């Protein structure tokens, strides 16, 4: 049986470099960290910051361009390392380490803040991942975590749709990365017509789930669909479950919000 951790790294790494090595980032753009901070009202980070699972490197670059901030990104996949290194090539305040969020290569109480967007719910031990991220934080430091939502508060037809998508996702995730991407390119026009376009023009479609509503074109939708179908592991959370993830890691929850998934702002308690 394929190791799910290795398979996760291979699939996501392929997705971040399938279109070639990305260009260096030279100016901040609104990306995942901005979404998290806006959702819960958290300020920009300062000091030494951990990007736990930096992926394609855009947030890592943004953090390195933030005044008063130095950032270290940790990424498991070879492809993510290649993409992130390219993104931060001109940003001296951002550095990169290859490793796992389950076993971070840092001493306790190292960082002034940390964030992790859409990472821990793809690991074999989400609670262990959040616990190890929190371990590296100084007392009082902020932690921002984003995890997928369980559709417990959505109408029955959305819960049914999620179950249907998951029934397809499981066999698709066992295909080769190239085959998964071809599948996503095939269905992207249909998703765009039935979900993305209506979400922009009709109130009844405004809360369609991510990634159906977040892209400007069919082409830009393909990598987001790939992320959705490629992951060997996917764990979803209720609001209470997302809160518990952070609290059980030794943090006090300052705020929690739904931004097509749960964003939790925690504060590391004194040891």
Q: Is the pLDDT assigned to residue 21 strictly greater than 80?
A: yes
Give the DSSP H/E element, type plus range, for residue 95. Answer: strand 94-98
- Mean per-residue pLDDT over the chain, rounded: 90
Q: What is residue 246's predicted lDDT score, i.e. its pLDDT?
A: 98
Q: Which pLDDT band holds residue 208 (cuts at 50, 70, 90)?
A: low
Q: What are the structural domains, with CATH classification, of the chain?
A: 4-149+235-268 (3.40.50.150), 174-230 (no CATH)
H or E, element range at 253: strand 251-258
From CA 179, how far away is CA 199, in angstroms rounded?
28
142-160 residue pLDDT tens: 999 999 999 998 888 888 8
Alpha-carbon gap, residue 59 to 94, rounded angstroms: 10
What per-residue confidence (pLDDT) applies to 54? Answer: 96
* pTM (predicted TM-score): 0.91
pLDDT digits 0-9 by tens, 215-253: 667 887 888 889 889 988 999 999 999 999 999 999 999
Classify residue 77 by its DSSP letter.
Answer: S
pLDDT of residue 1: 41
CA distances in angstroms from 209 to 16, 131, 158, 202, listed in the order given: 22, 28, 9, 14
């Amino acid at each position: 049986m394929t190791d799910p951790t290795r398979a996760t790294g291979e699939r996501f790494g392929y997705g971040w470099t399938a279109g070639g090595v990305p260009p260096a980032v030279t100016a901040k753009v609104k990306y995942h960290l901005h979404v998290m901070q806006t959702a819960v009202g958290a300020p920009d980070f300062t000091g030494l910051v951990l990007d736990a699972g930096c992926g394609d490197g855009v947030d890592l670059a943004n953090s390195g361009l933030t005044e008063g901030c130095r950032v270290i990104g940790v990424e498991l996949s070879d492809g993510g390392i290649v993409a992130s290194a390219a993104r931060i090539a001109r940003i001296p305040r951002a550095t990169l380490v290859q490793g796992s969020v389950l076993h971070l290569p840092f001493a306790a109480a190292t960082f002034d803040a940390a964030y992790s967007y859409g990472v821990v719910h793809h690991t074999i031990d989400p609670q262990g991942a959040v616990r190890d991220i929190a371990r590296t934080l100084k007392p009082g430091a902020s932690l921002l975590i984003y995890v997928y939502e369980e559709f417990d508060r959505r109408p029955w037809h959305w819960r049914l749709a999620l179950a249907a998508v998951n029934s397809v996702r499981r066999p698709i995730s066992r295909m080769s990365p190239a085959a998964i991407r071809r599948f996503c390119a095939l269905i992207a026009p249909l998703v765009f017509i039935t979900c993305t376009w209506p979400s922009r023009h009709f109130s009844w479609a405004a809360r369609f789930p991510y990634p159906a509503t977040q892209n400007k074109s069919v082409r830009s939708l393909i990598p987001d669909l790939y992320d959705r179908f490629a992951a060997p592991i996917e764990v979803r959370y209720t609001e209470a479950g997302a809160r518990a993830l952070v609290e059980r890691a030794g943090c006090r929850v300052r705020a929690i919000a739904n931004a097509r998934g749960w964003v939790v702002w925690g504060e590391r308690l004194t040891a």
